[in-house]
């Protein structure tokens, strides 16, 4: 697969995905500190998404595209109301370094609400030649993941690849389609054209049999769009970095997760940008961190505090970070509240700067009409996720123009 083809492919895969919700906050009843209980927020329904990426050929450009598109799409789909509860899983397939007995399929990360972990694994992906068994990776994703059992949950698999869809001689596509429908999982396919148009109908048929949608990418017409720099970019990135200082780690994995947060900031900042283009991955990641889709209650006490039954006195002393251990027990909740206020202020500033940046970008794009190919690709991305979310009763905001 060519670089342009893989860039388009990954943009399609990730752009058909993502969204998550923050739980409720509660007052600590045993503390003398006056901490008001915020109004209850409506919790959205679950969205479980597993992304399956073909890594059989050169994909340096594909990875770079993913680093941008992951945060970009998270921010776009954050407009679903009420904010959904998102989990994302990731599989790679088609590389001969993976186990042949498993169909050259490798699970990178289970369904998780930890977007930093997904981004970490995305950055670690490497290429290698091998057979691209679409049926096998789809079956594996359906069977291995602990999908949401909640009524009305949206459960999606996205499979991206090229070459024939029916290469698997062990697992049949029709059997996988039956399995997907029985499990209530929608399978969408992304086929990357490379001069073998005769392969397209089978990819489209597989998606249709699974109750999903098919997107075909033409490598000659799906060039990535360059976003120009604005005067707001550096401020957004800086504020995003400052957000990290409002996180209060806890538990045995707390420090490692906090370190990973910084590491993924660095990874996003390291995504190469074209001359004159904005550092989109770093900007979009900062915007994500300022929104409702970025949740870390499994290791951050400020997010954990928002849960209904949170009680700081129930957190074991050995699970607290050093900064909290130095504080008197009766002062700890007030400390967390102050961190929450600092975070909210930073998030507000980022949202305001992001809105100004988007306005500037929209004005620039209005001067550069899209080609027919770009329009078709753009419409395909948005219509797929919109239709599938609406079918499950999600309130989807109108498409941004």
Q: Are 193 and 86 in contact (CB under 8 A)?
A: no
The kind and range of the H/E element at 108 are strand 105-112
Please check whether residues 385 and 261 belong to one and the same domain. no
- At which residue do the structure tokens 């620039």 appear? 364
Q: Helix, strand, or coil here: 20? A: coil
pLDDT tens digits, the chain, 401 residues: what are they?
A: 544 445 445 555 554 554 333 333 333 444 434 444 444 456 789 999 999 988 887 555 555 666 667 787 777 777 788 888 989 999 999 998 999 999 999 999 999 999 999 999 988 988 887 789 999 999 999 999 999 999 999 999 999 888 889 999 999 999 999 999 999 999 999 887 766 788 999 999 999 999 999 987 654 443 445 677 999 999 999 999 999 999 999 999 999 999 999 999 999 998 877 777 888 889 999 999 999 989 999 999 999 999 989 999 999 999 999 999 999 999 999 999 999 999 999 999 999 999 999 899 888 877 876 554 444 444 555 677 778 888 888 888 776 65
Alpha carbon 226 to chain centroid distance?
21
**Domain tally for the chain?**
2
Please check whether residues 30 and 163 belong to one and the same domain. yes
Confidence at residue 306, expressed as pLDDT on a 0 to 100 scale: 93
Measure the CA–CA gap between 351 and 72, rounded to whole angstroms: 14
Please check whether residues 99 and 23 belong to one and the same domain. yes
Does pTM surpass 0.75? yes
The kind and range of the H/E element at 93 are strand 85-93
Please check whether residues 59 and 159 belong to one and the same domain. yes
The kind and range of the H/E element at 156 are strand 154-161
Please check whether residues 215 and 241 belong to one and the same domain. no
Measure the CA–CA gap between 192 and 161, rounded to whole angstroms: 6
Please check whether residues 212 and 256 belong to one and the same domain. no
Residue 158 is assigned to a structural domain of this protein: yes
Residue 296 is assigned to a structural domain of this protein: yes
Candidates 224, 226, 283; CA nearest to 75 is: 283
Alpha carbon 277 to chain centroid distance?
23
Domain span including residue 60 = 3-223+371-391
Residue 397 is assigned to a structural domain of this protein: no
Q: CB count, 10 Å around CB of 334?
A: 18
Q: Are 284 and 72 in contact (CB under 8 A)?
A: yes
Confidence at residue 369, expressed as pLDDT on a 0 to 100 scale: 64
CATH number at residue 117: 3.40.50.410
Please check whether residues 291 and 384 belong to one and the same domain. no
């Amino acid at each position: 697969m060519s670089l342009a083809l893989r860039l388009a492919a990954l943009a399609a895969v990730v752009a058909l995905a993502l969204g998550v919700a923050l739980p409720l906050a509660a007052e600590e009843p045993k503390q003398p500190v006056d901490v008001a209980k915020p109004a209850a927020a409506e919790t959205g329904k679950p969205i479980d998404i597993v992304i399956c990426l073909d890594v059989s050929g050169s994909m340096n450009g594909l990875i770079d595209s993913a680093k941008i598109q992951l945060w970009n799409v998270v921010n776009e789909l954050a407009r679903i109301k009420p904010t959904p509860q998102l989990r994302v899983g990731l599989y790679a397939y088609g590389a001969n370094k993976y186990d042949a007995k498993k169909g050259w399929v490798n699970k990178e990360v289970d369904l998780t609400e930890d977007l930093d972990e997904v981004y970490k694994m995305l950055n670690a992906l490497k290429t290698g030649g091998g057979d691209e068994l679409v049926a096998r990776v789809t079956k594996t994703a359906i069977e291995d993941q602990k999908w949401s059992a909640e009524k009305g949950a949206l459960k999606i698999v996205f499979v991206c690849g090229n070459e024939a869809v029916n290469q698997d001689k062990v697992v049949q596509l029709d059997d996988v389609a039956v399995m997907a429908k029985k499990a209530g999982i929608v399978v969408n396919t992304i086929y990357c054209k490379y001069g073998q148009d005769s392969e397209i109908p089978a990819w489209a048929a597989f998606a249709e049999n699974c109750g999903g949608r098919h997107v075909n990418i033409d490598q000659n017409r799906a060039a990535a769009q360059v976003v120009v720099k604005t005067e707001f970019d550096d401020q957004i990135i800086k504020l995003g970095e400052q957000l990290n200082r409002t996180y209060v780690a806890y538990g045995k994995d707390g420090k490692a997760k906090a370190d990973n947060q910084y590491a993924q900031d660095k990874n996003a900042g390291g995504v190469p940008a074209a001359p004159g283009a904005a550092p989109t991955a770093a900007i979009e990641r900062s915007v994500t961190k300022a929104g409702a889709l970025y949740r870390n209650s499994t290791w951050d006490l400020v997010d954990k505090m928002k849960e209904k039954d949170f009680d700081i006195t129930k957190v074991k002393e050995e699970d607290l970070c050093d900064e909290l251990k130095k504080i008197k027990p009766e002062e700890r909740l007030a400390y967390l509240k102050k961190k929450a206020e600092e975070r909210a202020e930073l998030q507000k500033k980022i949202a305001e700067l992001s809105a100004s940046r988007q306005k500037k970008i929209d004005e620039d794009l209005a001067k550069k009409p899209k080609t027919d190919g770009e329009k078709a690709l753009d419409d395909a991305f948005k219509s797929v996720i919109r239709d599938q979310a609406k079918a499950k009763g999600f309130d989807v905001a109108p498409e941004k123009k």
